[in-house]
Amino acid sequence: MSILPQVIFFVIFAVAGYILYRRISFLKRNIMLGKKEERNDQPAERWKTMLLVAFGQQKMFKRWLPAFLHFLVYAGFIIINLEVAEFIIDGFTGHHRIFAPFLGGFYTFAMNAFEFLAVGVLVACVVFLIRRNITKVPRLSMKELKGWPAMDANLILIIEICLMMAILKMNAADQILASRGVEHYTQLGTLFFSSLLTPILEGFSTPFLVFTERAAWWFHIVGILGFAIYVTYSKHLHIFLAFPNTWYSKLQPKGEMANMPEVTNEVNMMLGIPTEGSNEPPAEIGRFGAKDINDLSWINVMNAYSCTECGRCTAECPANLTGKKLSPRKIMMDVRDRAEEVGKSLDKGGKGLDDGKTLLGDYTTAEEINACTSCNACVEACPVNIDPLSIILQMRRYVAMEESGSPAQWNAMFQNMETSFSPWKFAPTDRFNWAEAVKDEEIK
């Protein structure tokens, strides 16, 4: 028996593995352009969060229809990969359906389950294409999705449909060849969905059916490897990053804003409040807030690469709903695009972060971040626990503390808080005058 197919399979697998290694190294380097941040506390709670939100897709089920369809695709992706594992073993060993003789009737049951999921994935992908391109769900038709993001979403759905069709076509040809007693093909019993295709193929010759079955097999395995590479360039990278992203997600109350430790320590020292390391000279602060991706934490950058571009954050954003330019989804896309630009520049020996561009200004505008109400609706809505608000607040901190560029009304409020300890311009001694007025009214 010729070993050429095995050699070709090994070469394809090795090339795909090398490309994936290079791309994963690129992504890891880009993510680590962000500042260090330790977030490994409460491991039990983090495991629970990852299991519920990433594995269980807990937050998806706020909208039952897209949640159910997405669950079909998700379950299909996880479970059908068990069949792909058999493909890989067959490819390396030169066998065909290596597990079939050992598992007997259970193998037929498993194949029917895989086909059921394949049809479910196919139907879900068709519905998603209709929602994006015909009914045009508003959150999937916003301006930041024009061009490549829209094409990327459609392309991945079409690829998944083709891969599922390849499985069904391969199984249909396989059943006919097994019934004809062709060598290497095993009788599997009835496979419900693929058997619906057998009447179409029965009239073809055996050599043609062998070609059809092998072509579908190769298309599927090459398609899966190509898909694995493609998703690392796509918004569908969340398939893999959703798990670490939910593990490292913020466990504190959502309304709790992160202060700069250096500033907090200085304030405490001024107030005479003892702090850890207060006897040591204060650390030099490189920059207040964030102007570029290296001012954000690596978790912020990972958030950006984990973004599904589903738009649930923007659909819930009150600023966006009232016509403001802010779109939390665009903020995350901006961070990812800037990280990609810097990473490609570094790979080419370019200037990287010193290319004259910055995240704030060249990608995200002050008008966008100033529109944020800090309500956390975007954080609550995200199905993979991304935190756009953290990035917005850090960029606003930079504008306020480094550029003194906050709106005039904000600066007046800041000054009042500094001098009067309240947003309003009246003396602290007058703060409870309203209570005296109320008391007088009650006496009357």
Answer whether residue 173 is part of any domain: yes
In this prediction the pTM is 0.85
The average pLDDT across 145-160 equals 90
Q: Which residue among 227, 247, 267 closes a domain?
A: 247
Domain that holds residue 214: 63-247
Answer whether residue 16 is part of any domain: no
Q: Which residue among 247, 281, 304 closes a domain?
A: 247
Q: What share of the chain is helix, strand, coil (3-state, %, to 5)?
A: 70, 0, 30
The lowest-confidence range among 152-166, 213-227, 390-404, 406-420 is 406-420
Burial degree of 174 (CB within 10 A; 0-12, 13-18, 19+): buried
Q: What is the pLDDT of residue 442?
A: 66
Answer whether residue 54 is part of any domain: no
Q: How far, in Å, are 55, 388, 390 from residue 375 at the CA level?
A: 27, 11, 12
The sign one gets for the Cα dihedral 429, 434, 435, 437 is positive
Q: CA-to-CA distance for 160 and 127, rounded, in angstroms? A: 13
More confident residue, 110 or 278: 110
Answer whether residue 133 is part of any domain: yes
Q: CA-to-CA distance for 398 and 136, rounded, in angstroms? A: 37
Residue 5 pLDDT greater than 70, yes or no? yes
Residues 6+ apart with CB under 8 A from 442: none
Answer whether residue 154 is part of any domain: yes
Q: What is the pLDDT of residue 63?
A: 79
Domain count, the chain: 2
Q: CA-to-CA distance for 414 and 419, rounded, in angstroms? A: 9
Answer whether residue 9 is part of any domain: no
Q: How far is CA 99 from the centre of its chain?
A: 34
**DSSP secondary structure of 100-148:** HHHHTHHHHHHHHHHHHHHHHHHHHHHHHHHHHHTS--GGGSSGGGTTH
CA neighbours closer than 13 Å in the CB half-sphere of residue 109? 4
Q: CA-to-CA distance for 224 and 16, rounded, in angstroms? A: 10
Q: What is the pLDDT of residue 276?
A: 66
Tokens 């290296």 belong to 294
Q: What is the CA radius of gyration of the chain?
A: 28
**Per-residue pLDDT tens digits for 40-50:** 999 999 999 99
Q: Which residue among 226, 247, 268 closes a domain?
A: 247
Q: How confident is the model at residue 90 (pLDDT cuts 50, 70, 90)?
A: confident
Q: How far is CA 321 from the centre of its chain?
A: 23
Answer whether residue 339 is part of any domain: no
Residue 278 pLDDT greater than 60, yes or no? no
More confident residue, 283 or 390: 390
Which DSSP helix (H) or strand (E) runs through 392? helix 388-401
Tokens 């992160």 belong to 258
Which candidate, 358, 148, 387, places its Cα nearest to that of 255?
Answer: 387
Answer whether residue 13 is part of any domain: no
Rounded to a whole number, what is the distance in angstroms from the first to the last CA of the chain?
106
Q: What is the pLDDT of residue 277?
A: 57
| Main-chain phi, psi angles of 13, to 5 degrees | -65, -40
The average pLDDT across 405-409 equals 84
